[in-house]
Amino acid sequence: MKTLIIYAHPYEKSYNASLLQQIQKKLKDTNQSHDLLDLYKEKFNPVISLGELALYSRGKGLDPKVDEYQKRITEAEHVIFVFPVWWYDLPAILKGFLDKVLLKDWAYEMSNIGIPKGKLTHIKKAIVIGTMKSPMITQAEYISTEEKKKYSELQVLKSGAGYYIGTTFDAGGYLDAGSRDTHYFLDEEEAQKELDLLENGKSDLVLRMEP
């Protein structure tokens, strides 16, 4: 039984990267084979060209990676998607992957009355992991300025599978350094070193604070 992981995040120290490592570790520890399809590292082009658009209704394309990706999907019984939610939607690279790879007559077929019917019935399970933060503006309304001041000191915090630099109350109006989705540490000591650099003005992290 093979698991295909479709991963869409460009930054190697992101929260998504941490989740990916934990998923791969779990699969390895349980002796489950897996195939990692990292869309950014494989330099997938999500743009549909004019030539591809002309072939789209016939279930055909021009990108040679499409045939490869269809083959990898065919070989998998489980599929796991890991991606951040940006602007309340999929990253463009993942949206383009779905548009270009899940083609008519391969991923689905149309009935005589125009109802699509899926053809990827060999896939037994699909897991979708999308990460995002709640909008600060909706949370800050309920937190007073005095309450926010109590939590303004940056520190190394534990979250999920690793660590990030932020405040103990970043949801109350304070965003973490670099944002949890863009800078994540698996090692607490590594995170502390980055915090020390940040406090000394030697870190390339951007400290983002909301009023």
Taking only the tens place, the pLDDT of each residue in 80-114 is 999 999 888 999 999 999 999 999 999 999 888 88
Every domain range in the chain assigned CATH 3.40.50.360: 2-131
CATH class of 2-131: alpha beta
- Which residues of the chain register pLDDT less than 70? 133-154, 159-161, 167-184, 203-211
pLDDT reported for residue 115? 86
Helices 92-101 and 64-74: crossing angle in degrees, nearest 10, is 80
User: Who's near 173: CB < 8 A, 6+ residues apart?
Assistant: 136, 139, 140, 143, 148, 210, 211
